Structure 1
């Protein structure tokens, strides 16, 4: 990694891209596996003390909340809580898959998408950890 790339990373560029991609994924139920509501994300933000004001579209709101968590160095905690929410929703869907086997055939995609979403959350957390490591190593930009 060149010095310029490291400086961009220290400034949070990689994390911001990952956050934007994750927000896009969260806001599309067909990609996430199920609907994640603004109140769901707002509840997580409030529990962590991250300022959040629901307005505009869901994707914008999700991205802004994660940026605020990034600024407060609470993105890891936010992503952990988000993973718990995904697990909870996946358990609910799995219950229907088991209870109604015929309908379950149509719901399995939701569980597969949830696993892909959790992978993306882990990837975002990994990028964030790299950002924190480089930030510590190279100091604050400016």
Structure 2
């Protein structure tokens, strides 16, 4: 990139990022939503993912969280357990929400902060509920 182009538009350095974002698939967006706490409202650790895998009857190796989640989605799809997998994630999120509410009860000054996390987590639950409905729709096709 020419220095003259940067002078005209200093945001040109972000063009590579924009190109990558446009190339992102819907599945990659789902993985990002679930692995980025500021988007989902909760943190999903590698050990949480391992435990979720165990509820589905699979032992997945510990590696990058996004890769583990991707493997779990693929496994759930292959074994026709997608609904159970999504329900397990929803249960996990509900557990986190109850922890947030307990923190709010014990430390009232944290309410403003915790409310935003609860709101994001509930939004993620709604997102996953919609995914469950789509799995029902596509299952019959």
Larger Rg belongs to: 2
TM over 0.5: yes
> Residues 64-111 of structure 1, C-alpha deviation per residue, up to 9 Å, x if partnerless?
211111111011111111111100010000111122121111111110
Is 1:130 aligned to 2:137, yes or no?
yes
1:98 is aligned to 105
Q: 1:51 to 1:72 in 2, by over 3 A?
A: farther
1:23 is aligned to 31
Is the contact made by 1:51 and 1:68 (CA closer than 8 Å) also made in structure 2?
A: no
1:78 is aligned to 85
1:5 is aligned to none
Is the contact made by 2:49 and 2:65 (CA closer than 8 Å) also made in structure 1?
A: no
Is the contact made by 2:41 and 2:119 (CA closer than 8 Å) also made in structure 1?
A: yes
Q: TM-score normalised to the size of structure 2?
A: 0.76
Aligned counterparts of 2:136 and 2:29: Cα–Cα separation in 1: 17
Aligned counterparts of 2:77 and 2:26: Cα–Cα separation in 1: 11
The runs of 5 or more residues in structure 2 that have no matched partner are 1-24
Is 1:114 aligned to 2:111, yes or no?
no
Is the contact made by 1:18 and 1:127 (CA closer than 8 Å) also made in structure 2?
A: no
Q: How many residues align?
A: 117
1:35 is aligned to 43
The CA RMSD measured in Å over matched residues stands at: 1.6
In the TM superposition, residue 19 of structure 1 has moved relative to its aligned partner by: 4.6
Q: 1:29 to 1:19 in 2, by over 3 A?
A: same
Aligned counterparts of 1:21 and 1:128: Cα–Cα separation in 2: 17
The runs of 5 or more residues in structure 1 that have no matched partner are 1-16, 135-142
> Residues 40-62 of structure 1, C-alpha deviation per residue, up to 9 Å, x if partnerless?
1211111211352232x212221
Aligned counterparts of 1:118 and 1:20: Cα–Cα separation in 2: 18
